[in-house]
Structure 1
Amino acid sequence: NRGLQADITISGALKADMFRFQLYGQLSKKLS
């Protein structure tokens, strides 16, 4: 099912972006 696979890929990318965003937030807090 190509549609389902696309949804999984998108949600995986969103989770990776959220993780990167949280990591960046923690780094900027330590630096400031």
Structure 2
Amino acid sequence: MSLKVIKAGILDTIQDNGRYGNQHLGINPTG
């Protein structure tokens, strides 16, 4: 996977789709 930043701002964030499938380990899919 690659990411190209065209124009960055000071309040920009990078977010993924979550980490599903690890709830049985106590890991929240949203972080």
Bigger relative CO (Cα 8 Å, ≥ 6 apart): 2
- TM-score bucket (shorter structure): under 0.3
Query: TM-score w.r.t. structure 1 length?
Result: 0.19
- Greater fraction of residues in helix: 1
Query: TM-score w.r.t. structure 2 length?
Result: 0.19
